[in-house]
């Protein structure tokens, strides 16, 4: 069956069956997702009809293993949670003082706008920009306040018009006088701590720790550079720019969040408190309201002339349907609807030739199939200067994070510097252009690449469009459906950890299989296929079991049912479990999740039938008689004509 795509009909409505088939789940699962708010039916239609854009987004999340993100959208309790981003603090001993402030605001139900207004005054007093005031000035007549910097005075007076003065009375004593620690962007830190988790993930508002930002600036910003953060938040990057830049008018910031922009403006004004200027920081939607030619209404000579664009853009933002349609028109090349990709494309457009981009991004940009759109744009328009791995920098973001540095030009001979833990090596950018889906396989050094190239140069096929796929079952209520001992009417069900190479281990769980009651279940015939492979989904290693007994799996164990004519499923299990394929997997993807897109790219060599027969026999011996895998493992190495030295290298990798 050919996979459904929406290429020919971009704004379509799908019915229940088509949606289930496209997402590879049962119709019952789709109904459950509607019930729990994960999916939305179209109001204008009666029954289960869905907008293709929403389904495409969900498909992207499933493909990139991010189903949890999807569930996050519907999870109200999570949306209402706040947390203190400790990683943003330079000195963690300040945490007690800050927690007091945050608790005061939350317990007294003071709105964020008012709180931050008062805290800004507190900061301005500390910085000696506002002269001492009496409380009457604050509640009755702001015109009497005196500021040493005229522009700051304007900002504050504009801000106060938006605030409920009754709330000010309630909160001013504490918030005006509480000690504020010396910490860059202290207001931004407090703002982040007060924002609800739901709003933060909606706008992708996780601000970047100082240390990471400073490194970027050190590498690229000079005293006369013209620089931009296109989604500046409260201005962590702008403040870092200001360490190097003399003229504050050369620092540009944009953000969609009004509160964040107010703080960012104030931060920059305080930083250059002896200068008379209005900051170039505005509240706008960068993707939809900023043209490439009229940024801040500059004249045409100034277009596309940034020296550096640096930021941590929002990741995985859920755009409204209206915005999605507009984005499709403005950025037709971005088919993934991924927010960081839009920001990257926009930033490339705003740089002059030779200008630099430095972005903080999830590792998935390098190798997940969905992001091939932006990888192609990067390869065509920039030299990738550096990819560096940053250790877990955001406490509440559980993906690996990288820093990607690009120079805008069309140089084809670029060597990319890769920094991973203590290792630094180079890779050839030109090779990535020829990779399937333009993958940036940065885990492979030049020796690895030459071995992998040879494997791929053997005539082969792949599982792309030649297999059916299924996720394991999510019951939604394991206590009711799963038991640890076998009961009447129950059957074995396997989790990822029960899957071993070639065989399923002893079952630890049993299920009363009532698919219509489960939260997520694939079409039943996929579990009941005559032959299938079951694999661990969360794993650094490829672990595939062969199953011809129609067993069920839970969500940590996924299923692939190969459908390649004259290609035995047993040969595929041998290849995927081999040390050689582990090496390819590790070097190409270095992932802790085994994704469908990874498996689809693995080469399946078109060897002679006598070789296939031998492999099948060896697999039978392993499954039925428990024979060691080593002989088969070596046999695969030899069929690819790898030298003993190369085999040792691969095994030690």
Ligand X SMILES: C[S@@+](CC[C@H](N)C(=O)[O-])C[C@H]1O[C@@H](n2cnc3c(N)ncnc32)[C@H](O)[C@@H]1O
Contact at 8 Å (CB) between 303 and 292?
yes
From residue 265, alpha-carbon distances to 123, 146, 156, 269, 577 in Å are 14, 19, 11, 6, 56
Q: Judged by CB under 6 A, which stretch of 6-14, 124-132, 227-235, 410-418 contacts ligand X? A: 227-235
Nearest-angstrom CA–CA distance, 452 and 583: 9
Q: Judged by CB under 6 A, which stretch of 120-128, 280-288, 468-476, 632-640 contacts ligand X? A: 280-288
Interaction pattern, residues 302-341, with ligand X; x per rule: CB under 6 A: ---------xx-x--x------------------------
* Residue among 217 and 260 whose Cβ is closer to ligand X: 260
Q: Judged by CB under 6 A, which stretch of 63-71, 89-97, 282-290, 489-497 contacts ligand X? A: 282-290
Q: In this chain, which of 89, 240, 287, 471 binds ligand X, going by CB under 6 A?
A: 287
Q: In this chain, which of 29, 32, 250, 286 binds ligand X, going by CB under 6 A?
A: 286
| Residue showing tokens 């962007």 | 185
Q: Provide the minimum distance between the beta carbon of 354 and ligand X in the complex, in angstroms, as a whole number.
A: 23
Pick the closest to residue 418 from 393, 440, 400, 398 (CA basis).
440
Q: In this chain, which of 26, 57, 236, 601 binds ligand X, going by CB under 6 A?
A: 236
Tell me how many degrees the CA angle 433-439-442 measures, rounded to the nearest 5: 100
* 227 φ/ψ angles, rounded to the nearest 5 degrees: -130, 155
Q: Provide the minimum distance between the beta carbon of 235 and ligand X in the complex, in angstroms, as a whole number.
A: 8
Q: Provide the minimum distance between the beta carbon of 493 and ligand X in the complex, in angstroms, as a whole number.
A: 39
Q: Provide the minimum distance between the beta carbon of 342 and ligand X in the complex, in angstroms, as a whole number.
A: 8
Contact at 8 Å (CB) between 178 and 115?
no
| Residue nearest ligand X by beta-carbon distance | 233
Q: In this chain, which of 24, 65, 85, 233 binds ligand X, going by CB under 6 A?
A: 233
Q: How many residues line the site for ligand X (CB under 6 A)?
A: 24
In b/e form, how buried is each residue of 273-293, taking b as 16+ CB within 10 angstroms? beeeeebbbbbeebbbebeee
Kindly state the tokens that stand for 327.
Answer: 């984005």
* 628 φ/ψ angles, rounded to the nearest 5 degrees: -65, 150
Kindly state the tokens that stand for 551.
Answer: 């067993």
* Residue among 208 and 591 whose Cβ is closer to ligand X: 208
From residue 243, alpha-carbon distances to 6, 184, 188, 239 in Å are 48, 12, 18, 7
Q: Judged by CB under 6 A, which stretch of 41-49, 284-292, 293-301, 442-450 contacts ligand X? A: 284-292
Q: In this chain, which of 110, 121, 194, 256 binds ligand X, going by CB under 6 A?
A: 256
* Residue among 282 and 511 whose Cβ is closer to ligand X: 282
* Residue among 206 and 252 whose Cβ is closer to ligand X: 206
Interaction pattern, residues 190-219, with ligand X; x per rule: CB under 6 A: -------------xxxxxx-----------
3-state class of 519 per DSSP? coil
From residue 6, alpha-carbon distances to 14, 133, 404, 506, 597 in Å are 10, 63, 31, 42, 19
Q: In this chain, which of 54, 229, 307, 407 binds ligand X, going by CB under 6 A?
A: 229
* Residue among 213 and 576 whose Cβ is closer to ligand X: 213
Strand (E) or helix (H) holding 541: none
Binding site for ligand X (CB under 6 A): 203-208, 229, 231-233, 236-237, 254-257, 260, 285-287, 311-312, 314, 317
């Amino acid at each position: 069956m050919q996979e459904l795509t929406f290429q020919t009909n971009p704004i379509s409505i799908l019915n229940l069956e088509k949606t289930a088939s496209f997402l590879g789940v049962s119709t019952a699962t789709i109904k459950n997702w509607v019930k729990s708010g994960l999916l939305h039916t179209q109001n204008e239609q009666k029954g289960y009809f869905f907008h293709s854009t929403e389904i495409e987004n969900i498909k992207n999340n499933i493909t990139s293993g991010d189903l949890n993100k999807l569930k996050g959208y519907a999870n109200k309790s999570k949306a209402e949670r706040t947390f203190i981003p400790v990683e943003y603090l330079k000195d963690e001993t300040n945490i007690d003082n800050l927690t007091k402030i945050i608790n005061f605001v939350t317990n007294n139900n003071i709105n964020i706008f008012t709180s931050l207004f008062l805290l800004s005054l507190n900061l301005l007093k500390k910085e000696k920009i506002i002269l001492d005031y009496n409380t009457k000035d604050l509640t009755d007549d702001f015109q009497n306040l005196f500021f040493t910097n005229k522009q700051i005075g304007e900002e504050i007076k504009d801000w106060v018009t938006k605030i409920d003065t009754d709330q000010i009375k309630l909160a001013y004593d504490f918030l005006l006088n509480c000690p504020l620690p010396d910490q860059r962007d202290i207001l931004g830190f407090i703002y982040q701590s007060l924002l609800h988790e739901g709003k933060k993930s909606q706008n992708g508002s996780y601000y970047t720790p100082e240390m990471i930002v400073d490194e970027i600036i050190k590498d690229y910003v000079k005293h006369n550079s013209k620089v931009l953060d296109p989604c500046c938040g409260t201005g962590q990057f702008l403040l870092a720019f200001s360490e190097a830049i003399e003229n504050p008018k050369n620092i540009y910031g944009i953000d969609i969040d009004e509160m964040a922009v107010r703080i960012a403006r104030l931060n920059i004004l305080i930083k250059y408190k002896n200068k008379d200027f209005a900051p170039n920081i505005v509240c706008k939607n960068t993707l939809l309201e900023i043209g490439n030619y009229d940024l801040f209404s500059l004249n045409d000579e100034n277009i596309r002339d940034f020296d550096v664009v640096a930021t941590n853009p929002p990741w995985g933002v859920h755009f409204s349907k209206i915005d999605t349609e507009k984005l499709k028109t403005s950025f037709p090349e971005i088919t993934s609807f991924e927010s960081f990709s839009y920001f990257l494309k926009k930033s490339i457009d705003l740089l002059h030739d030779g200008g630099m981009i430095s972005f903080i991004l999830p590792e998935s940009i390098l190798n997940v199939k969905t992001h091939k759109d932006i990888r192609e744009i990067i390869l065509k328009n920039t030299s990738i200067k550096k990819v560096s791995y940053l250790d877990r920098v955001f406490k509440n973001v559980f993906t690996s994070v990288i820093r990607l540095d690009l120079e805008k030009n069309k140089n084809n001979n670029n060597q990319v510097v890769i920094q991973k833990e203590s290792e630094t090596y180079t890779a050839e950018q030109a090779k990535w252009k020829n990779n399937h889906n333009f993958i940036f396989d940065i885990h492979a050094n030049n020796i690895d690449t030459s071995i992998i190239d040879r494997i791929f140069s053997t005539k082969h096929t792949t599982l792309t469009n030649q297999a059916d796929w299924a996720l394991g079952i999510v019951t939604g209520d394991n206590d009711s459906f799963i038991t640890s001992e076998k009961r009447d009417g129950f059957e074995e069900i396997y989790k990822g950890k029960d899957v071993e190479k070639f065989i399923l281990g002893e079952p630890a769980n049993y299920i009363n299989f009532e698919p219509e009651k489960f939260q997520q279940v694939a079409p039943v015939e996929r579990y009941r296929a005559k032959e299938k492979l079951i694999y661990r989904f969360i794993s650094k290693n490829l672990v595939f079991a062969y199953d011809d007994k129609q067993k069920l799996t839970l969500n940590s164990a996924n299923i692939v049912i190969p459908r390649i004519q004259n290609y035995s499923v047993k040969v595929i299990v041998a290849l995927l479990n081999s040390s050689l394929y582990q090496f390819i997997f590790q070097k190409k993807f270095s992932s802790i999740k085994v994704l469908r897109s990874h498996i689809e790219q693995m080469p399946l060599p078109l060897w002679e039938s006598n070789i296939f027969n031998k492999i099948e026999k060896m697999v039978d011996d392993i499954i039925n008689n428990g024979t060691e895998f080593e002989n088969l493992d070596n046999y695969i190495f030899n069929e690819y004509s790898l030298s003993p030295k190369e085999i040792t290298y691969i095994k030690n990798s």
